[in-house]
Structure 1
């Protein structure tokens, strides 16, 4: 039986990551998609710097810097900018469902570049998951029509899949939390290329939008990773990661309570199909050779 502190850490992690789509939607009322990502991760970077100074996170090896920069590009810069653009046109609940499709694209990329054998069950799960994604994309409106912005969220999921593939060899030398810090810092630094107009946006944005970004930076983008690491240190990774399936329904509840968004039945059904497909893919995947590689769920996307 899990101790109370572990239960509390897992619950806080799920709540933080599930609230992220709602926080993004609030931030978008006063900021553009790029500035939402930049403000969020400037705050997260400062938080992570404080934690790194307190915990003594190691400096990375010089030879790993290009790979660590790539983690920032795919895990922070591209992922979050695409996610924010996507949420301009779809509901927060649908965005959370599509973002959870990452394991499907990770499996596809692993089969192509890492030559991992999925088996018939894995491919069946992939096809089922992709059908669920199509259902969410088409069903997140009253007219059951194609939502172009939803493809941005799918792109965000793909970019996160690339992040996960890239971090696997690095986990032999770094802890997941160290890689998260490196990715946050490098990805934030890259986003400063798009910082033009940020000061003007801060001065003219509604206070609620700015507070929403402060919340995003502290809770889903920083604090949740500390509570997640606490839980991972005390429970098997597979058992803990399975609890992340609670994120999409919790995100829908938060969006309904805060934003008044009611999920469309087709999008809700499509989300269930996506999660079922992910379950089949994971059940058909070979057991990892090293425990360190079982770090899926160490996301910057939630």
Structure 2
């Protein structure tokens, strides 16, 4: 299988840009409210996607599917962005990335009941390995903080889990770009209730803060969600894609090193190694198991 035909590069690119979003969100919340940041981020994303949609002459969704795009926009961008930004106001980037890392578990459980998707014993074991890596990374770093922001982030995690299932449904009919773009458009329209406050705050913000918002809008939103939806389109299971979110805390820590000069320590290295091992087991453990035991059966 050629790499371009696999969901792995699309999911990996998304997680890279989402990990960057944790750091930039904390920085921009110093000048913007959670509501204004949510609108501005997706207003930028919508503008970028609109140019692509019009240039490529991509057709609009069918009327029968509008309700699904509205639901996708609500859970994936309106509710999620408000809850995520409110949580990040009082929770560290490390803690927020850890809480959002439970999304794969939520997605897997929802997919089990709604789409009747089943995970193998190896995949459940890999999920446990990944989550243990998150715990190692967090607790050894003493990075976990508990306050009201945690509950906002838990709401964000559930909302994103529902969004993942809606994207799975939409990408059976539409391309990854269509599924994400029209969902973002719907979410941005809902977030427009914060337009007046957003304009006031943008006028008084330093120019570098506006640059952060552009990066969040173009890369962590427009590009990231398009590649995320494309990953769902190419994957056989919803959980195969959402499982990549376990890597987020590790990447967030590494980006903290690159952007803020924070040197990775033993907990980061140990936790990251455990997480990556779990991801490899989840995606390739079944194949290795089948090959080993298939070979033995022939001996």
Question: TM-score range, shorter-chain basis?
Answer: 0.7 to 0.9
Partner of 1:67: 68
Partner of 1:296: none
Partner of 2:160: 160
Cα separation, partners in 2 of 1:151 and 1:132, compared to 1, 3 Å: farther
- Equivalent pairs counted in the alignment come to 280
Cα separation, partners in 2 of 1:269 and 1:149, compared to 1, 3 Å: farther
Alpha-carbon offset, residue 162 of structure 1: 0.4
Cα separation, partners in 2 of 1:182 and 1:175, compared to 1, 3 Å: same
Alpha-carbon offset, residue 117 of structure 1: 3.8
Question: CA-to-partner distance for each residue in 1:222-255, whole Å, 9 max, x for gaps?
Answer: 23456778999999999x9587765543321222
**What is the TM-score normalised by the length of structure 1?**
0.73
Partner of 1:300: none
Partner of 1:113: 114
Partner of 2:192: 192
Alpha-carbon offset, residue 145 of structure 1: 5.5
Partner of 1:87: 88
Distance in 2 of aligned mates of 1:271 and 1:60: 40
Cα separation, partners in 2 of 1:81 and 1:254, compared to 1, 3 Å: same
Partner of 2:38: 37
With 77-86 and 92-101 compared, the bigger mean Cα shift is at 92-101
Alpha-carbon offset, residue 94 of structure 1: 3.5
Question: CA-to-partner distance for each residue in 1:68-105, whole Å, 9 max, x for gaps?
Answer: 10000111111122221222233323333433332211
The alignment yields a C-alpha RMSD, in angstroms, of 4.2
Q: Is the 8 A contact 1:90 1:149 kept in 2?
A: yes
Q: Which runs of 5+ in 1 are unaligned?
A: 286-302
Distance in 1 of aligned mates of 2:209 and 2:125: 42
With 271-280 and 229-238 compared, the bigger mean Cα shift is at 229-238
Structure having the higher Rg? 2
Q: Is the 8 A contact 1:28 1:36 kept in 2?
A: yes
Cα separation, partners in 2 of 1:232 and 1:126, compared to 1, 3 Å: closer
Distance in 1 of aligned mates of 2:232 and 2:69: 22
Cα separation, partners in 2 of 1:132 and 1:33, compared to 1, 3 Å: farther
Distance in 1 of aligned mates of 2:85 and 2:128: 26
Q: Is the 8 A contact 1:139 1:266 kept in 2?
A: yes
Q: Is the 8 A contact 2:246 2:275 kept in 1?
A: no
Residue 18 (structure 1) aligned with residue 19 (structure 2): yes
1:132-171 → structure 2 map (5 Å cutoff):
141=142, 146-171=146-171
Q: Is the 8 A contact 2:72 2:166 kept in 1?
A: yes
Distance in 1 of aligned mates of 2:145 and 2:234: 45
Cα separation, partners in 2 of 1:274 and 1:110, compared to 1, 3 Å: farther
SS of residue matched to 1:19: helix
Alpha-carbon offset, residue 127 of structure 1: 6.0
With 53-62 and 179-188 compared, the bigger mean Cα shift is at 53-62
Partner of 1:293: none
**What is the TM-score normalised by the length of structure 2?**
0.73
Distance in 2 of aligned mates of 1:106 and 1:8: 20
Cα separation, partners in 2 of 1:120 and 1:15, compared to 1, 3 Å: closer
Q: Is the 8 A contact 2:103 2:245 kept in 1?
A: no
SS of residue matched to 2:90: coil
